[in-house]
A and B are shown apart, each in its own frame.
Chain A
Amino acid sequence: MLRPFEIHQPESVEAASALVGRYGDDAAFYAGGTELLLVMKEGLVRYRHLVDLKTIPALGALDYDAASGLLRIGGTVTHRALERHPTVRERFPIVAEVERLVANVRVRNVGTIGGNLCFAEPHADPGTLFLTFDAEVELVGTRGARTVPIGAFFTGAYETARQPDEVLTAVRLREGGPQTRWAYMKFGIHERPTLGVAVALTLDAERRGIEDVRIAVGCVGPVPARVPAAEALLRGAPLAEADGPLERAAQVAAEGADAVDDLHGSAEYKVEMVKVFMRRAFRAAAARFQ
């Protein structure tokens, strides 16, 4: 049952932040509610005040700067908007592709990127993908604005570096160059995935050697994370002979996965699936050069 609460619809981020600052633990930001309302209905959290961010126009903006290749996604941009936005589809096709697979269309229609990242439910897709973009998160609170690299944003299951009064105003992604391809693979039978693996593969100009690779694993443990040791094994390897390094990298990624047993599977199984899907995601990214 949803207990009664007061909804505030401030006109600016500063006003929103001030409201949550004033009400403290009695208030939360509302940015779509696809996670928040579920736990409120269950009575797991209680807020007398919800501060609606969706009515703040600036947060709904989606800006692409062709010169810098920077995409700035406002905190209340919905999954559905990302999935369908022409610029996103053209310049960041992997983002549209992943967003199209988030939960179900009802969730995508109202759920926002900011809400998704800030709730930090462990079984989520966008955070994992954004790790391979080295995305940056913009936060604005009563004590000013700051930017946090996405790798430092997730601190635990349901926990982030965001202070209670801070609003996630935007997440910034930089476009990959002509030699970079992405792939994202998710797996599981439940509404929330058992596992997600994102790979960003950059080849050299001849497209023979692996110049750079960024790999992130999500859902298996409390937070999505890059696997630098696995990336290092692949970096510099010739693409044609990547199988050996890939196998070792998958092994390293699996060993490093902080997997937990839960309804989505045993830690043992998840670790094995990290191997499988890291291989598949890498190969899928490589195949996109053809």
Chain B
Amino acid sequence: MEFTREISTAASPEQVWALLWDVERLARCIPGCQSARAVTPHVRYEATVAERVGPFRVTFPLDIEVLEAQAPTRLRAKATGRDASVGSSLQMQLDLAIEPADGRTVLRLRADVSVLGKLAALGGGMIRRKAEEVMDRFAQALRRELDGDRADAPTV
């Protein structure tokens, strides 16, 4: 499943870039993120995210690996995790591009997400719907983190 979001912010590209490396602030933006820490800063991170759909609960301990970092324009990372009790895994490739545009900054998010295992039995459509929601919440939270309550620009 591929997802894209675009966030327009008044913050500068450098400020956006800084947020991406601020574990504590970024963790606040990730929906369901229960904990996050740098294993090796700028190289490897660990985080635990939990999500719930009705009676279904999953908790993924994620191993996050930075694949490419070009300050302050591009960040690529991949995250993998497995919820053994639900017998499902999550794999995500994340591609972030930061560009100045008309005095503002645009953050382009591209995520390629695979949910593997028994969760797939719930049906791809429903998983996708939930993932879209999570992406929306993430984008909104990022915008709020960057712009505070001035976050009025729409997410596309």
Indicate if A touches B (C-beta under 8 A).
yes
What range describes how many residues of A lie at the interface? 20 to 34
B123 on the A face (CB < 8 A): yes
B114-133 vs A, CB cutoff 8 Å, 1 = contact: the mask equals 00001101111110111000
Q: Counting chain A CB atoms within 10 Å of each CB, which of B56, B125, B130 scores highest?
A: B125
Q: Do B124 and A159 touch across chains, with their CB atoms under 8 A apart?
A: no
Q: Do B123 and A43 touch across chains, with their CB atoms under 8 A apart?
A: no
B55-74 vs A, CB cutoff 8 Å, 1 = contact: the mask equals 11100000000000000000
- Which of B87, B118, B124, B130 lies in contact with A261, CB distance below 8 A? B124
A255 on the B face (CB < 8 A): no
CB distance from A241 to the nearest CB of B (A): 38
The interface on chain B, measured as residues whose beta carbon lies within 8 A of the other chain's beta carbons, has a size of 19
B153 on the A face (CB < 8 A): no
Beta-carbon nearest neighbor of A260 in chain B: B125
Beta-carbon nearest neighbor of B119 in chain A: A44
CB distance from A49 to the nearest CB of B (A): 14
A237 on the B face (CB < 8 A): no
Q: Which residues of A contact B87 (CB under 8 A)?
A: 43
B85 on the A face (CB < 8 A): yes
Q: Which residues of A contact B129 (CB under 8 A)?
A: 157, 222, 260
A46 on the B face (CB < 8 A): yes
Query: Cα distance A120–B54 when bound, in Å?
Result: 9
Q: Do A122 and B126 touch across chains, with their CB atoms under 8 A apart?
A: yes
Q: Which residues of B contact A160 (CB under 8 A)?
A: 54
Query: Assuming the A-B contacts A157-B129, A261-B128, are A44 and B122 also in contact, with contact meaning beta carbons closer than 8 angstroms in the complex?
Result: yes
CB distance from B153 to the nearest CB of A (A): 25
Q: Do B118 and A43 touch across chains, with their CB atoms under 8 A apart?
A: yes
Beta-carbon nearest neighbor of B86 in chain A: A44
Query: Assuming the A-B contacts A44-B118, A157-B53, A158-B55, are A262 and B125 also in contact, with contact meaning beta carbons closer than 8 angstroms in the complex?
Result: yes
Query: Cα distance A157–B125 when bound, in Å?
Result: 10
A157-197 vs B, CB cutoff 8 Å, 1 = contact: the mask equals 11110000000000000000000000000000000000000
Query: Cα distance A263–B59 when bound, in Å?
Result: 26
A11 on the B face (CB < 8 A): no
Query: Assuming the A-B contacts A120-B54, A156-B53, A157-B53, are A42 and B85 also in contact, with contact meaning beta carbons closer than 8 angstroms in the complex?
Result: no
17 A–B contacts, CB within 8 A, in A order? A28-B55, A43-B86, A43-B87, A44-B56, A44-B119, A44-B122, A45-B57, A119-B54, A158-B55, A158-B56, A222-B126, A222-B129, A260-B128, A261-B124, A262-B124, A263-B123, A263-B125
- The 9 lowest CB-CB distance pairs between A and B, nearest first, are A158-B54, A262-B125, A260-B125, A159-B54, A157-B126, A262-B123, A45-B55, A261-B125, A158-B53
